[in-house]
Structure 1
Amino acid sequence: MTADPPALFASARKHYARFRPWYPEEFFALLAERFGLDGTQTVMDLGCGPGMSALPLAPHVARLYAIDPEPGMLAAGARLAAERSITNIEWVNGDSTQITALGLPPVDLCVMAKSFHWFDRPRVLADLDTLITPGGGIVIASAGPPGTTPLPAWAPVIAGVRTSYLGPVRRAGTGTYPEPEDHFTDTLRRSPFSHVALTSLNQHVTRDLDQLIGLQLSNSYSTPAQLGDRLDAFTRDLRRTLLDHDPSGLYDEVIRTEVLIATRPGRSTTP
């Protein structure tokens, strides 16, 4: 992968927290139940962005380390935490290659929400094995393997406009983004955290036209930086094409979140 995540998301940060869907409450209830979160644990959110999993998880734990390589994302998360009077999150500028060098204490749980695909996955899992407590574990939240989630009717419409501006290959910074060859489950089963359980959560979202366009600008492959001086033309064409597709200006989606809960052998992933 020839991507630089901090550079990728620098221009997307103002769109990210505003237009990306937040995780459903069921996700955090699941983590609290599976890991017995009772306000005494220490947790890491690796690749936290603006805190879309860190902020709702914080009330369940004693201390949460939210780690991201993009300073603007951390600043956005810190502002949201202050607005919500959440004081037990430490916002840490760092990336997945540095987790053993950040001086963190032992952690009971590491959450990676739509970030695991950016990492050197075997290395991260090996590093986490040195940091996570014996009874702790890992949670990966993603959309699941490519092609396993039904797309909404408007998705091909957006893809057509995006392709006309950026080409058919998914971009990542100045390079391209190849999909991981292994499913996350297979990678985990070859790691120290080889006991894996899968749960899927669905949430229904209806967006208006501005929200759907803003969502596209939060994606690494269609950020304002990727579009450059074609940004205004892209948003104008996208708006026109979506309204041609559905003049109501309202666009439905069922968002599937695949939750992988991984622990070391001998530590059950069920209550």
Structure 2
Amino acid sequence: MESSPRGPFASTVPYYARFRPAYDDHLFTLLGTRFALDGTQRVLDLGAGPGTLTLPLAARVREVIAVDPEPDMLAEGRRLASEAGVGGIDWRLGDSGTLLALEVGPVLLTVMGASFHWTDRERLLQDLDTLIEPGGAVVLATCGARHEDLALPAWLPAVEEVRNRYLGANRRPDSGPGAYPAVRHEDVLLRSPFSRIEAVHWDRTVRRTVDEVVGLQLSFSFTSPAALGPGLPAFEHDLRRALTALRPEGELLEERVRTDVVIACRP
């Protein structure tokens, strides 16, 4: 998660908050109960994007420091927070490599929504050990990742066929700089100051229109508008046509979506 003038998510901003699935409400209830969140705590959201975790947490704590390397993501987060009337958020441009220089101060929790794999994980956890208060934790959350025990959505092969046609078979979620590393997050945590791990998840069914499935693809770094370049309009057209063929009567496209959370505390 390193800053750059135009990072891998810059062109996804109009699609990210709108089409990515929201985290299950049980996640915020769990954190509220587990850490007795009563509006007095400070929390760091590292890799905050447009505030997908930030905004729900801001209602439960005194302040959320929302850090992201993409300026347009921060601008979108500010806009969404303003629209929702949510305050108590300090939006900061930065990344895991510049975290200590940001002088965010002590925090009870550091949350990361599908951003930990973009970082130097070992170094980051050492840095977080200097920021997180006694009794605090690192919280890793993901939503919508693929799992062997969850059936793949029936529409996924159509998406993959169109994606491969425009970007090549090597353009996959598990390839490129944002790919998940071979060493699991849990194994890295077990070797860190935050080695006491609790993992839970919640599943739900998400139903989307054809346009929403198309928008979801444009929210990913590997199928972003920047990655598609001049081929974007044709990609959207062909993907809509392929998805519509699956649901000619306009029925919604279903997917089982899992919210995963790993809570890592000090022993």
TM range (shorter): over 0.9
**Is residue 2:186 matched to residue 1:185?**
yes
**Structure 1 counterpart of 2:259, which letter?**
T
Q: Which sections of structure 1, spanning at least 5 residues, go unmatched? A: 266-271
**Structure 2 counterpart of 1:68, which letter?**
D
Residues 108, 2 of structure 1: alpha-carbon distance in 2 compared, 3 angstrom cutoff: closer
Check whether the contact 1:170–1:177 (CA below 8 A) recurs between aligned residues: no
Cα displacement string for residues 66-87 of structure 1 (whole angstroms, at most 9, x for unaligned residues): 0000011101111111112212
Alignment of 1:126-205 (within 5 A): 126-143=126-143, 147-148=147-148, 149-170=150-171, 177-205=178-206
SS in 2 for 1:261: strand
Give the share of equivalent positions with the same residue, in percent.
50
Check whether the contact 1:204–1:253 (CA below 8 A) recurs between aligned residues: yes
Alignment of 1:217-236 (within 5 A): 217-236=218-237
Distance in 1 between the 2:179 and 2:49 partners? 21
Deviation at 1:170, TM superposition (A): 3.2
**Structure 2 counterpart of 1:220, which letter?**
S
**Is residue 2:52 matched to residue 1:52?**
yes
Taking structure 2 as the reference length, what is the TM-score of the superposition?
Answer: 0.93
RMSD between superposed Cα atoms in Å:
2.2
**Is residue 2:130 matched to residue 1:118?**
no
Q: Which residue does 2:100 correspond to in 1?
A: 100
Deviation at 1:143, TM superposition (A): 4.8
After TM superposition, the structure 1 stretch with the greater mean CA deviation from structure 2, 243-252 or 190-199, is 243-252
Deviation at 1:176, TM superposition (A): 5.1
Cα displacement string for residues 7-38 of structure 1 (whole angstroms, at most 9, x for unaligned residues): 21111101111111111211100111111111
**Is residue 2:42 matched to residue 1:42?**
yes
Taking structure 1 as the reference length, what is the TM-score of the superposition?
Answer: 0.91
Q: Which sections of structure 2, spanning at least 5 residues, go unmatched? A: none
SS in 1 for 2:101: coil
Cα displacement string for residues 61-104 of structure 1 (whole angstroms, at most 9, x for unaligned residues): 01110000001110111111111221200000001111111011
2:265 to 243, 263, 266: 263
SS in 2 for 1:212: helix
Q: Which residue does 1:269 correspond to in 2?
A: none
Distance in 2 between the 1:17 and 1:178 partners? 21
Distance in 1 between the 2:113 and 2:194 partners? 17
Query: How many residues align structurally?
Result: 264
Deviation at 1:6, TM superposition (A): 5.0
Q: Which residue does 1:268 correspond to in 2?
A: none
Residues 143, 58 of structure 1: alpha-carbon distance in 2 compared, 3 angstrom cutoff: closer
SS in 2 for 1:111: strand
Check whether the contact 2:140–2:261 (CA below 8 A) recurs between aligned residues: yes
Distance in 1 between the 2:69 and 2:87 partners? 21
Check whether the contact 1:108–1:135 (CA below 8 A) recurs between aligned residues: yes
Distance in 1 between the 2:238 and 2:4 partners? 28
